[in-house]
Amino acid sequence: MKRMVRLREEADQDLAVAATWYEQQCSGLGQEFLDKGLSTFQLIAEQPLMYPMVHRNIRRALMSRFPFGIYFRIERSYIVVLAVMHASRDPIHWQSRT
C-alpha cells in the first residue's frame, strides 16, 4: 500500500536550505537535488519497510548522488519525514525532532 508522505516544517526547511546551497554552487544543481529528494520520497511511500531503522522507530533512506539521508517514521496511514540531513551531520539534530 502506497502511503502519503508528509514533511514536518523542519524537514521542508532542510530541503530548501540544501537546495539553495547546491544552486549557489552550480546553476540547476539545486533543482536536481529537489528532484532526487522527490524521487526518494516516492520510493519511501511505495516501500517504507525496505529502509533500515536507525533509532527506535525512525528509518533512514539515502538519496542517490547527494550525501543526504531522509529520516522518517511510519504512521498508520502516512509517513512523517522528520529531517533531510547531510550524512556528516551529528544525528542529535534529527533525534531532537522525534
**CATH number, domain with residue 41:** 3.30.2310.20
pLDDT along the chain (98 residues), means of 10: 93 97 98 98 97 94 97 95 90 64
**93, part of any domain:** no
DSSP strands (E only) in the chain? 4-7, 53-55, 58-62, 68-74, 78-86
Task: Indicate yes or no: pTM above 0.75.
Answer: yes
**91, part of any domain:** no
**55, part of any domain:** yes
State the pLDDT at residue 89: 81
State the pLDDT at residue 54: 93
**81, part of any domain:** yes
Total number of domains constituting the chain: 1
Contact 79, 72 (CB under 8 A): yes
